[in-house]
């Protein structure tokens, strides 16, 4: 499953790039994040609680960062193990370009899921994954612009 979209963020490109690499920002943006620790160099560890259809899952996972072109692009690779619910894996390629209003953040997200949550069928999962990705970047925009996301 692949999703892509873009956000215009009213902040300078470099500031946006730096912000996305902090655990505090990841915790604020990842929907359902309970804990995010670590650093860009060593990777992050995250605990995320989410409800997918009838299945509530607490994913324990890692987020690593690859293909960093400072100020321009990077790839976030996440892998979460949800115990009884299954697992989720994904990566997000993020590209930043200058924009009259600040910067444009374009993202392409690929997600793979397995176990009980995969069984629930793509009709729930596709919508769920899209919502997760959209929320992540909407919150990020909100954090950067200093407004609460709607």
Partner 1 sequence: MNKMMSKGIGAPLPRESARRLVEGRGSYIDDIVLPSMLHVAFLRAPFAHGRILEIDTAEARELPGVVAVIDGKDLAKVCAPFDTNPPGVPHHSSPPQPALVIEESCFQGEAVIAVVAQSRAIAEDAVELVFVDWEELPASCSIKEAQSDDAAPVHGGFETNLALRHRLGVEDVSNAFESAAHVVEASFEFGRQTGVTLEPRGIIAHWDPRTEALEVWQSHQVPWQMREVYAKQLGLPQQSIRVTTPDVGGAFGLKLHAYADELAAVAVSKLLGRPVKYIVDRLEAFTSDAHAREANATCRMAIDLEGHILGIDAVVDSGFGAYSIHPRGSFGEAMQAAQLIGAPYNVGAFRAVVQGWRQNKAPSGAYRGVGQPIACAITEDMIDLAARAAGIDPAEMRRINYRSTLDAGARATQSGLVIEELSLDACLEKLLEAMDYKELRVEQAGLRKQGIHRGIGLASFVEITGVGAGLYGPLGLPLAANEACRLTLQPDGSLTCATSVTDQGQGTLSALGQLIAGEFDVAPGMVRMIAGDTGRTPYGGGAWASRGMALGGEAARRACVRLRNGLFDVAAEILQCEPSALSFENGEVVGPKGPSGVTLADLGALCHYRPYDIPTGQVPPMTVEESFLPANLPYITSNGVHAVHLEVDVDLGTVELLDYWVVDDCGTVVNPLLVDEQLRGGIVQGIGAALYEECVYSEGGQFTNGTLADYVVPMAGEMPDIHVGHITTPTRASGLGAKGVGEAGTVGAPAALRAAISDALSPLATRVVKQPFTTRRILEAIMAAENARQQ
Q: How far apart are CA 8 and CA 36, in angstroms?
A: 25
Compute the least distance from the CB of residue 85 to partner 1, in Å: 7
Closest CB to partner 1 among 10 and 118?
118
Closest CB to partner 1 among 15 and 118?
118
Closest CB to partner 1 among 83 and 101?
83
Q: How far is CA 33 from CA 28, 39, 54, 95, 132, in A?
A: 7, 16, 19, 23, 11
Compute the least distance from the CB of residue 49 to partner 1, in Å: 10
- Residues in contact with partner 1 by the rule CB under 8 A: 56-58, 60, 81-87, 112-116, 118-123
Q: How far apart are CA 101 and CA 68, in angstroms?
A: 24
Residue 110 phi, psi dihedral angles, 5° rounding: -115, 135
Compute the least distance from the CB of residue 60 to partner 1, in Å: 7
Those residues with Cβ within 8 angstroms of residue 115's Cβ, 6 or more apart along the chain or in another chain: 82, 84, 85, 86, 87
Compute the least distance from the CB of residue 42 to partner 1, in Å: 19
Closest CB to partner 1 among 112 and 131?
112
Q: Tell me if 92 sits within 8 A of 75, measured CB to CB.
A: yes
Closest CB to partner 1 among 8 and 112?
112
Compute the least distance from the CB of residue 128 to partner 1, in Å: 14
């Amino acid at each position: 499953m692949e999703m892509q979209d873009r956000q215009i963020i009213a902040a300078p490109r470099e500031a946006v790039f730096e912000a996305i690499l902090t655990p505090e920002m990841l915790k604020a943006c990842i929907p359902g994040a309970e804990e995010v620790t670590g650093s860009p160099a060593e990777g992050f560890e995250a605990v995320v609680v989410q409800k997918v259809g009838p299945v509530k899952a607490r994913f324990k996972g890692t987020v690593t960062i690859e293909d960093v072109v400072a100020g321009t692009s990077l790839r976030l690779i996440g892998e979460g193990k949800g115990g009884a619910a299954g697992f989720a894996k994904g990566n997000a390629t993020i590209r930043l370009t200058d924009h009259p209003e600040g910067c444009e953040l374009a993202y392409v997200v690929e997600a793979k899921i397995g176990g009980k949550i995969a069984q629930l069928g793509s009709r729930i999962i596709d919508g769920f994954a899209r919502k997760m990705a959209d929320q992540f970047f909407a919150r990020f925009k909100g954090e950067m612009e200093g407004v609460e996301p709607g």
